[in-house]
Amino acid sequence: MHDSKTSSRAEAGKSYWYFAVLSLLIVPLLLLAACGKKGDPTLKEYEKPAEPSALKAIHREAHIILLWNYPADKESAIADFIVLKSSGAEFEKLAPADKSKRTFEDTSFETGITYSYKIIARNLKGVNSSDSNMVVVTPLAVPPPPSGLSFSIQGHSLLLAWKPAGEGLHYNIYRSLEKGKYGISPVNSNPLSDTSFTDAFNINKTVYYTVRSLRAGAIRDEGAPSEELAVDPAALIPSPLRNVTYFAASDKVFLYWDEPVESWVTGFRIYRKKEGQENYQLLGETQIPVFVDTEPSRENNDYRLHSIGPAKEGPGTELRGVRYIPPPE
């Protein structure tokens, strides 16, 4: 009986040590497999990221707009950008900027106070880059917008004009193919001191313009936009044709006129009303300032000629009582 109990205890001891050793072997293997799934940490993840560059500032209305550059191929290694601001000796962190952005707007400032800004990039492990270049700005009160924005078409060019908003101001012109949506970059390469600007005329699309006043300086100090001006080719109406005349041959009537002043005229439309008819009838169209009526009436013929714009006819110019002399039979 004693030997049986002793044997049972020995067997239990062996089982205990068997499972203990087995656990010591299996658990590290499971932990190693789990670590392998996540990916081993590397020193590269702790490297300092590239710093932002070319930081600049624009003061527009109630915003100081910061813009900077960052390599697109290094964007995946960072978590975000951190904006640093100082109005004295110490820099404070503002709200982080998304890593896909290259701009930040600060609305907490006062005119006449000097501020300094820097940008740093922060990687996924919380390691910060070196500082970008620093910009120092002293925003001034922004000027009022210009008024009376208008346009005229001269040849193949569009001339914008506006009334000045004050003495010593400059102007930036903004252009868009979408109503009310404008970018940060003006059409003009440098701020204008004149109150007019010449742009290429787009005959195929409606183009929108607005103008902002600004003070001459590195950060613009740019005010609110002027009223929006839509340049819609479909709304253009050609002027009446000039110097319309004719020559009556033995069986034809040749109509002539001057080239129109508008470069955007697409052609000419000719109407005729024979003697005894109440209304003009469309006779034909041409793209050159000449038209030949090959079937005129032996009685009086009245003609009305129109320029054709991108979508509309201009006012008609009339020739009355035109008659050709048929050859003798």
Mean pLDDT calculated for residue range 17-35 = 49
Contacts of 199 (CB under 8 A, 6+ apart): 157, 158, 160, 173, 175, 187, 209
Mean pLDDT calculated for residue range 61-72 = 97
CATH of the domain at 279: 2.60.40.10
Quick check: 208 pLDDT over 60?
yes
Is the distance from CB of 237 to CB of 270 less than 8 angstroms? no
* Angle, alpha carbons 213-215-221 (nearest 5°): 85
Whose tokens are 């009582």? That residue is 321
Q: Say if residue 127 is in the same domain as residue 179.
A: no
Q: Say if residue 259 is in the same domain as residue 300.
A: yes
| CA 125 – CA 45 distance, rounded (Å) | 7
For 137-162, how does the pLDDT look when each residue is reduced to its tens digit (9 = 90+)?
A: 999 999 999 999 999 999 889 999 99
How many structural domains does the chain have?
3
User: Within a domain: residue 153?
Assistant: yes
Q: Say if residue 256 is in the same domain as residue 318.
A: yes
Q: Say if residue 165 is in the same domain as residue 197.
A: yes
Is the distance from CB of 246 to CB of 304 less than 8 angstroms? no
User: Within a domain: residue 275?
Assistant: yes
Q: Say if residue 50 is in the same domain as residue 131.
A: yes
What is the value of pTM for the model shown? 0.76
Q: Say if residue 105 is in the same domain as residue 133.
A: yes
Mean pLDDT calculated for residue range 314-320 = 95
Contacts of 116 (CB under 8 A, 6+ apart): 85, 86, 87, 91, 134, 135, 136, 137
Q: Which of 34-43, 157-166, 252-261, 282-291 has the lowest mean pLDDT?
A: 34-43
User: Within a domain: residue 254?
Assistant: yes
Mean pLDDT calculated for residue range 124-131 = 94
How many residues make up the chain in this entry?
A: 329
Distances in Å between the Cα of 76 and the Cα atoms of 13, 50, 70, 296 are 56, 12, 11, 77
User: Residue 297 — very low, low, confident or very high, per pLDDT cuts 50/70/90?
Assistant: confident
Find the domain containing 58 and state its range: 46-137
Q: Say if residue 104 is in the same domain as residue 174.
A: no
User: Within a domain: residue 240?
Assistant: no
Quick check: 221 pLDDT over 70?
yes
Q: Say if residue 157 is in the same domain as residue 91.
A: no
Whose tokens are 């009446």? That residue is 240
What pLDDT sits at residue 213? 98
For 86-121, how does the pLDDT look when each residue is reduced to its tens digit (9 = 90+)?
A: 998 799 999 899 999 999 999 999 999 999 999 999
Q: Give the up-direction half-sphere exposure of residue 279: CA atoms within 13 A in the CB hemisphere.
A: 2
User: Within a domain: residue 123?
Assistant: yes
